Amino acid sequence: MATASKNLSTYNKSELPDAKPFKFGFVVSEWNSEITQGMFQGAFDALTDCGAMKENIVRWNVPGSFELIYGCKKLSESFDMLDAIVAIGSVIQGETKHFDYVCEAVAQGIKDLNVSGDIPVIFCVLTDNNWQQAKDRSGGAHGNKGTEAAIAALKMAQLKKDSAFYK
């Protein structure tokens, strides 16, 4: 297991850009809300710890992980001044192939948004085999994938800013 000996919440604030000038968007799935709310809280806490202002963080909810793609697309169109968007979802393996279709579609959809858009979209979707694995990665034994996604969003916001300088 890739995260067996890794805490997803570990970061060194001194090595990160100041988050104060950046604006962040979140699209959060309501499905498995205990898990997704935990990841959002971890992300929110990490960004504010790194200097982000609460009023520069926008959150939209969508029904499930499949809807994250449309939510991120519309969020980017509605708030073109955002520096990064984080898509937060949780898909837990069941007894049917539904899991495979949803995971594949969401991963490809978020990839497509990154290829075609101007705002980086961070993939923060847990694809776990069971509820315990999801809990362990949303503020439990392995830390919080939301925290890790927030740090990725901060780094990508800085990259977006730096790349605009060179145009």
Using one digit for the tens of pLDDT, what is the confidence trace for 90-128?
999 988 888 889 999 999 999 999 999 999 999 999 999
142 is catalytic: no
> In the prediction, which pLDDT does 1 show?
43
Using one digit for the tens of pLDDT, what is the confidence trace for 35-67?
999 999 999 999 999 999 999 999 999 999 999
C-alpha dihedral over 137, 140, 143, 146, to 10 degrees?
A: 50
pTM of the model: 0.92
Catalytic residue among 98, 118, 130, 131: 98
- Residues with Cβ within 8 Å of 106's Cβ and at least 6 positions away in sequence, in order, are 65, 66, 68, 69, 87, 89, 91, 123, 125
Backbone angles phi, psi at 143, to 5 degrees: 90, -140
> In the prediction, which pLDDT does 4 show?
55
84 pLDDT more than 90:
yes
Ordered domains of the chain (ranges, CATH): 24-165 (3.40.50.960)
